[in-house]
């Protein structure tokens, strides 16, 4: 479609392969079937400080989505900031819907997304990890990360079981907002910590579902253009 | 409103006077003109671990909102739920880009600043790094986040009387408690953030925001 081609030419996602927040945005774009140009920003090499990127995103964080003339989330600060990309995508590309119409289910999706985005991920971002390794002791951040994830996963597992909301996916049989936020967090937990997922049976099962869903698979860190070959 | 009165029982908000996340929910309820019952959860006494509360909110955070049989935790989810249920006055604009911007500012606060100085983190730092180190850390995280927001607002040229225009919107609901905490608890120099400083004055003059202040809550100490 002419419009899709024009859209594809206009949408650019600035992303780092390993960034959980970038991962969320990639899942959403993938679910919506929206084509985009992938622009790698190597956080470990400090590419977020490159003048061209800084002009785009003064706060030097990924993800950032460029849509034509407008930069969405150009000053993303610390960790998150994918919420507004998802909001924009939901409005512009309504199918498939990531939020249910039912107010209570919608609220539950926001709650799960928020537990991940505010309650877990920020507590193990680069700033915090560097601080802990420097001021507490080298390697202390690994234990801290696992503890924060365990707290959050306990909460989410309990919440999902309490609400009896899970179906094939977190809040039913369709992929919704909660899944977009859960998938990268569970993936990071399994990849980077020694977390025992048998303590979180629902989350463990959801992980298998995500790893079998094409849109989620396409968004995996190891599948991105900037992922090292030997990942 | 007849609809609000007809709801069997009022909404209940589980809140701690000093919690900036509870503060956000209180502002939103006040802006929407929704009456609610205030239920105290004393975080310092560990009341968030009471079995009854854990059943309500497994994350053991405040705020939590109870609407009949329905319980919702997390301030972001609560505010958006209130936005859906009580559309007037709207906290989100129709314009996609302004809406996204409001979410961005809310997110910078909710994910980028506040979690980094919550009780868990501060206790860890004071125990493992050194007593009192948490205060400096808090100020640094707030300064980082305020720099981002001040730059963002100036870059977008979006501010009016309030953060993203002349009406109070989602960004203001999240900004007000964070700015208040910064001023009350740190030695932050607000002259570095002129827009945020001005917004603070606006919030302190708005009745819905004033009624939501920590010191105005039932569980605030008398001598605050």
CA B99 to chain CA centroid, nearest Å = 18
* First-residue to last-residue Cα distance in chain B: 34
- The predicted-structure confidence for A163-179, as pLDDT tens digits, reads as follows 999 999 999 999 999 99
Contact criterion met (CB < 8 Å) for A114 and B145: no
Residue A108: burial class (beta carbons within 10 Å; 0-12, 13-18, 19+): buried
- The predicted-structure confidence for B138-181, as pLDDT tens digits, reads as follows 999 999 899 989 988 998 899 999 999 999 999 999 999 999 99
Contact criterion met (CB < 8 Å) for A114 and B74: yes
Closest partner residue to A75 (CB to CB) among B84, B97, B148 is B148
**Percent of all residues in chain A with a pLDDT value above 90, rounded to a whole number:** 55
Question: Does the pLDDT value for residue A1 go beyond 60?
Answer: no
- For residue A3, the model assigns a pLDDT of 47
Rounded Cα distance between B126 and B133, Å, is: 6
Average pLDDT of the residues in A188-194 = 92
Sign of CA dihedral A132, A136, A139, A140: negative
Question: Does the pLDDT value for residue A180 go beyond 50?
Answer: yes
CB pairs under 8 A between A and B: 160
- For residue B16, the model assigns a pLDDT of 96
How many CB atoms sit inside 10 A of residue A214's CB? 9
Average pLDDT value over all residues in chain A: 85
- For residue B14, the model assigns a pLDDT of 97
- The predicted-structure confidence for A9-32, as pLDDT tens digits, reads as follows 568 899 999 988 889 888 888 888
- The predicted-structure confidence for A134-143, as pLDDT tens digits, reads as follows 999 998 999 9
Rounded Cα distance between B184 and B180, Å, is: 6
Q: Give chain B positions within 8 Å (CB) of A105.
A: none
Q: What is the ipTM of this complex?
A: 0.91
Residues B143 and B196 sit within 8 Å (Cβ to Cβ): no
Q: Give chain B positions within 8 Å (CB) of A48.
A: none
Please indicate if any CB of chain B lies within 8 Å of the CB of A65: no
How confident is the prediction along chain B (224 residues), in pLDDT tens digits per residue?
444 444 557 899 999 999 999 999 999 999 999 999 999 999 989 999 999 898 888 778 899 999 999 999 999 999 999 999 999 999 999 887 888 888 889 988 999 899 999 888 999 999 999 998 999 999 999 998 999 899 889 988 999 999 999 999 999 999 999 999 999 989 999 999 999 999 999 999 999 999 999 999 999 997 44
Question: Does the pLDDT value for residue A226 go beyond 80?
Answer: yes
Confidence of residue A95 (pLDDT cuts 50, 70, 90): confident
Contact criterion met (CB < 8 Å) for B110 and A80: yes
Average pLDDT of the residues in A201-230 = 94
Closest partner residue to A77 (CB to CB) among B70, B100, B148 is B148
- For residue B8, the model assigns a pLDDT of 56
The nearest alpha carbon in chain B to A63 belongs to B104
- The predicted-structure confidence for B178-198, as pLDDT tens digits, reads as follows 999 999 989 999 999 999 999
Contact criterion met (CB < 8 Å) for A78 and B148: yes
The nearest alpha carbon in chain B to A135 belongs to B129
Closest partner residue to B77 (CB to CB) among A80, A107, A156 is A107
- For residue B202, the model assigns a pLDDT of 98
Please indicate if any CB of chain A lies within 8 Å of the CB of B80: yes
């Amino acid at each position: 479609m002419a419009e899709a081609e024009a859209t594809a030419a206009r949408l650019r996602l600035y992303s780092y392969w390993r960034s959980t927040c970038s991962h969320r945005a990639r899942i959403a774009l993938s679910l919506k079937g929206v084509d985009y140009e992938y622009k790698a920003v190597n956080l470990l090499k400090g590419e977020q400080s490159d003048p061209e990127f800084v002009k785009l995103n003064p706060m030097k964080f990924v993800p950032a989505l460029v849509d034509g003339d407008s930069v969405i989330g150009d000053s993303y600060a610390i960790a998150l900031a994918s919420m507004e990309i998802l909001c924009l995508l939901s409005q512009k590309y309504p199918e498939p819907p990531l939020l249910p119409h039912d107010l209570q289910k919608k609220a539950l999706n926001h709650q799960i997304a928020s537990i991940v985005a505010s309650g877990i991920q920020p507590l193990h971002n680069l700033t915090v990890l560097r601080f802990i390794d420097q001021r507490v002791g080298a390697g202390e951040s690994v234990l801290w990360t696992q503890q924060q994830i365990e707290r959050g996963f306990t909460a989410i597992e309990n919440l999902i079981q309490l609400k009896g909301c899970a179906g094939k996916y977190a809040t039913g049989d369709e992929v919704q907002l909660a899944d977009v936020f859960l998938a990268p967090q569970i993936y990071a937990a399994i990849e980077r910590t020694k977390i025992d997922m048998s303590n979180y049976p629902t989350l463990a099962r959801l992980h298998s579902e995500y790893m079998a869903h094409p849109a989620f698979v396409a968004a995996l860190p190891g599948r991105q253009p900037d992922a090292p070959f030997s990942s």
